[in-house]
Structure 1
Amino acid sequence: MDALVVAGIVFVCLFGGAIAGMAASRKLKEQHLSKETQEAVKLAVGMVAAMASLILGLMTASVKGNFDTTNRDVQQYATYLITLDLSLRHYGPDADPARAALRGYTEHALDETWPADTTKTLVNSEVSEQTLSHVGQMVRALEPKTPDQVELKAEAIDRYKSLAALRWVLIEESAVQVPPIFTVVLIVWLTFIFMSFGLFSPVNSVSVSIFLLCALSLGGAIFLILEMSTPFDGIIIIPSDAMLKALQHMVK
């Protein structure tokens, strides 16, 4: 589900829960709102709030860690592209077709992963896989004539293997998402907490405004978590700077 839609659901549930609590407090009898009752509710809600904070913290740490790891892997991927191109460049004119194929793959990867239309982002495709595989075939087909070329071919093959392996790592990292059950449970817990807050809060503009701002804040937090869980899709994405630099290096 779209992160913005989920954030909207979070806001409605939390703010609606607080308002429902306020409405319920006006219909309850006096003994249900006694100080003793308030203390008991605070203890119970405190435990739920602690668990909700823990889950929220774990979700944030998990998606932030995956986002940072993916960003580093993209930079490493660009480095492998540059070093493979350098090996082929030093090999000589015989490797020019392989270099051209590698440059074509890089352009295609950029167009797929960072398209102008962000709704058509594609990290993995058969065309991309076949294009990179063709690069590997061309590298392996090189026929070195000097000891230096033998060493450069071996170096290029090693770089290609690293590139192909890291590509699949990036594909797997792009598919890691927050389990929906975590989000659902968190929304239920937060809604319950806000209902308890509204139950013992005075009904005035200040209380309503505070609950509104708090609901917006938590909705924004959930939005950030869900956005960062998809590093190549949405508003918050891995920048393409490293790949663009790699392509610029190839065309020099």
Structure 2
Amino acid sequence: MHHLSVALIVFVCVFCSALLGLYLRTLLPEHHLGEDSMAVVKLTAGLIATMAALVLGLLISSAKSSFDTVNTEVTHEAANVILLDRVLAQYGPETQEIRGLLKQIVATGVQQVASADAAQLARMHGPEALKRGENFERKLEELSPQNDLQRRLQARAIEMADNVLAIRELGLLQAVGSTPTPLLITLVLWLCIIFGAFGLFTPPNATVAIALLLGALSTSGAIFLILEMNTPLEGLVTVSLTPMREALAVLGQ
């Protein structure tokens, strides 16, 4: 909802700038709207539009890259969790309690991420979550292998558990992305100048007003998507948790 509010504010600022440009056109003296004056305005608006387009494109590319990275890490973690569970199953019935703990940890994580609640996501970084991970690794280390095969499986399980926890923490850190506020404000200012210049270019009429409205909607929509993809674990645009749910369904079998 916060991102939607920001996008709405951007839309209002940009569209009102366009309407202000249309209004100023009716107030300016005729010689201010001559060909030479309008040519300078168009060149200035073109320069600002180029900079805004570059920044907007870079922000979209960066946000999409961040979103895809977290999405890939969710899939990798789901696969690693399944493999860890199978290694523990090969070890023997002694690991039944550890496998149950693994399933509980995964279920809690999926529930917290699926809630898309900032408070729940913050708990995934909290001391409680860290203790659960440490307790799980300690139980792996406390296993008493009886033969070479079990010793190899124990070592492999400990290594895989370390990787799973590392990938999880990396994904959580990358999911807390943010667009720099000064950059966002500068971009919105540029868009306001551009749309204000658009309003100066043509006489006010319904067609021009609709075109400017659609343009303002498009730019605010792009900023909304940037903000949403920069926080892929919360909001309206989130990564798919299907791989983790599928992994949860086969754990312990």
- TM-score w.r.t. structure 1 length? 0.96
Contact 1:14 1:194 in 2 (8 A): yes
Cα deviations by residue, 1:31-54 (Å, 9 ceiling, x for unpaired): 100011111111111111000000
| Code of the aligned partner of 2:177 | V
In 2, distance between residues paired with 1:68 and 1:155? 29
The answer to whether 1:109 aligns with 2:109 is yes
| Code of the aligned partner of 2:183 | F
In 2, distance between residues paired with 1:200 and 1:247? 59
Tell me which residue corresponds to 2:198. Answer: 197
Tell me which residue corresponds to 2:143. Answer: 142
| Code of the aligned partner of 1:70 | V
Contact 1:121 1:232 in 2 (8 A): no
The answer to whether 1:22 aligns with 2:5 is no
Gaps of 5+ in 2: none
In 2, distance between residues paired with 1:119 and 1:62? 22
The equivalences for 1:61-76 within 5 A come to: 61-76=61-76
The equivalences for 1:7-46 within 5 A come to: 7-46=7-46
Q: Report the CA distance between 1:114 and its aligned residue.
A: 1.1
In 2, distance between residues paired with 1:219 and 1:14? 8
In 1, distance between residues paired with 2:64 and 2:247? 25
Tell me which residue corresponds to 2:89. Answer: 89
- TM-score w.r.t. structure 2 length? 0.96
Q: Report the CA distance between 1:119 and its aligned residue.
A: 5.9
The answer to whether 1:80 aligns with 2:53 is no
The equivalences for 1:176-191 within 5 A come to: 176-191=177-192
Count of residues in Structure 1 that have an aligned counterpart in Structure 2: 251
In 2, distance between residues paired with 1:143 and 1:100? 18
In 2, distance between residues paired with 1:155 and 1:184? 50
Tell me which residue corresponds to 2:60. Answer: 60
Gaps of 5+ in 1: none
Cα deviations by residue, 1:86-127 (Å, 9 ceiling, x for unpaired): 111100011111111111101111111112x74654143322
Cα deviations by residue, 1:137-191 (Å, 9 ceiling, x for unpaired): 1111111001110110011011011112112201211111111111111100000
Tell me which residue corresponds to 1:231. Answer: 232
Calculate the aligned-residue CA RMSD, in Å.
Answer: 1.3
In 2, distance between residues paired with 1:127 and 1:247? 21
